[in-house]
Structure 1
């Protein structure tokens, strides 16, 4: 990323708000349903999202992201409740505007705004994944999706595929921003 977006904390806040509504759709009977993330069911996606929020909490608190964790008892027992709790804590930190300016992620140092922008992108897109797995169509709000689309071009490159993201799908300039964003990240928003 050349320059972290100045509005990254706002993007993160909007992503958390959007995703919180999607989490309201989750029911225990749906946890084994497939998601748009190839090979993942809803339970695995929620586990991944909990890991991501925990990493963002570490980044915004301690200024570093620890090595991957083994097991997360709270997230296993109540994945949605744990996500909501972590989202509230993260929102409070963002609203306070406190925290480090630079974050250690592995052996790299990143601007906290870059980490927040990456978190916003991941949380929003996974919020869409959750809704889709629950059988709901919750398009990303167009102005928000357009902003994330611009950020995604700075955050996702060929090295991220196919490890973190699927190959991009064909899209059209006439498609809504949310459809283009999801296609860029390997998701077909128009599929039934």
Structure 2
């Protein structure tokens, strides 16, 4: 199975499961909700802004948590462009939204590379990296899968989970948006979360 088919298949399966959850809970969010909300697993990584990257840094803001890698050919740049578009559409409320991008490829993604990569989408985006063990622990906390796959020519890519986690201002994991949703869906959910307690 190709990387694109695998990720689209995972996204479809998540979308179906999350849609069922959405219907069952009666939530107005476009993303699949965590019911009840739970504390988002904390982590400590090297941040692309030069500071320690912890979720608690952003308490009081909504966090959009993404997992990916800078050599990603399709899914990651599409997701980041969508989040940049959504944040721009938020207007003044954009200041209350923080995108956090955690690499699944520490072998190539150091803080400088991540900073340059994210800056092409939105300079406010902050990325994180760390040891393979530290990143594996973060992925485990969020149920994120990542697997190295060889590519023609002796290189490699990464198959990885492609959903975006929505963390509210109190640090609770509220929802997961499957890959493929547009900026309008993110704006819709972010505005609802900003208005809620």
Query: Shared fold by TM > 0.5?
Result: no
Q: TM-score w.r.t. structure 2 length?
A: 0.28
Q: TM-score w.r.t. structure 1 length?
A: 0.28
Structure with the higher helix share, 1 or 2: 1
